[in-house]
Structure 1
Amino acid sequence: MNRAWATAIAADAAVVLLFAVVGRSSHDEGLTLVGVARTAWPFLAGAAVGLGLAAFAHDDPRSNRAGIRVWLLTLAVGMVLRRLTDAGTAASFVVVATVVLGVLFLGWRFVARVRRWTRPFRRS
């Protein structure tokens, strides 16, 4: 596994965990490890599917294309798994999750690209 993929896996998992932590704290649900895991697991599964499809398609994991795949599959798989486990999929939650996950998944990729563009050239 190269550095770009390792970064993408770690950053995408961090996005989902941040989403779960902020969501739980904003609803006074408590920030226990079990509670965060219960909220995050469906979306982590979706992110894994999205990253797997991006790898299969030979996408650069830092690209917008990969970010959109991961975002939409995280959302779709996460909501389906939440629905199947009676965890709740209220329309307002779906809207908030769509926006927040989109901003976070595409946002870190944007920052990574800008950082690469602005780094000074180094000779080996």
Structure 2
Amino acid sequence: MRYLPAVIVDIVLVLVFAVIGRASHDENPAGFLLTAWPFLIAVLLGHLLAALLPGRPRRPWSVLWGVVVWIVTVAGGMLIRVLSGDTAEVPFIIVATLVLGAFLVGWRGIAALLRRRRGAAPHHDLADSTEQGDPGDSVT
């Protein structure tokens, strides 16, 4: 159950990616599911892979978990697109890689910075600060 919030955030961000992409090409944004579905499947596979990796990051909101999800989402989404008869032109691959990286890893980086900042606040004791971190949460 601890995975569900991160999965939901990532699904929403993949949908936002598809809506923005369609709108930027003057396509009907209402058809965003046509663009999103391969990446939605891939984002779920990314979470599954991150959960099954030996020595995996322990928390689905960690930056390292996000990197795994990002790579699988881009590579898997492109592969599914091509196998389903759609295209994967180089400019689309570049944009998708950058935007999905910013989305899927970015929110985790911001969360890690906020946790680190909150952990550094003087009103937290040592017991609280040990709960904050995860080796995969590091953004430095």
Compute the TM-score of the two structures, normalised by the length of structure 2: 0.78
Superposition map of 1:29-108 within 5 A: 29-32=27-30, 35-57=31-53, 58-59=56-57, 60-108=59-107
How far apart, CA to CA, are the structure 2 residues paired with 1:17 and 1:36?
Answer: 7
Contact 2:74 2:97 (C-alpha < 8 Å) held by counterparts: yes
Do 2:63 and 2:112's aligned partners in 1 also have CA atoms closer than 8 Å? no
Q: Paired residue for 1:8, among 6, 9, 22?
A: 6
| Bigger mean CA deviation after superposition, 58-67 or 38-47 | 58-67
Deviation, 1:97, is 0.7
Q: 2:137 aligns to what? A: none
* Percent identity over paired residues: 42
* Cα distance between partner residues in 1 of 2:81 and 2:92: 11
Residue 33 of structure 2 aligns with an amino acid whose one-letter code is A
Question: Counterpart of 1:86 in 2: which secondary structure?
Answer: coil
Kindly state the Cα deviation for residue 76 of structure 1 after the two structures are TM-superposed. Answer: 0.9
* Distance in 2 (alpha carbons) for counterparts of 1:25 and 1:81: 22
In terms of Rg, which structure is larger? 2
RMSD of the alignment, in Å? 1.9
Paired residue type of 1:44: L
AA matched with 1:38: L
Query: 1:34-85 CA distances to partner (integer Å, 9 max, x unpaired)?
Result: x111110100111101100111134221122211110110011100111012
**Separation (CA, whole Å) in 2 of partners of 1:104 and 1:80:** 20
Q: Which runs of 5+ in 1 are unaligned?
A: none
Following TM superposition, where does structure 1 have runs of at least 4 consecutive aligned residues deviating by more than 4 angstroms? Answer: none
Amino acid at match of 1:28: D
Aligned amino acid, residue 35 of structure 2: T
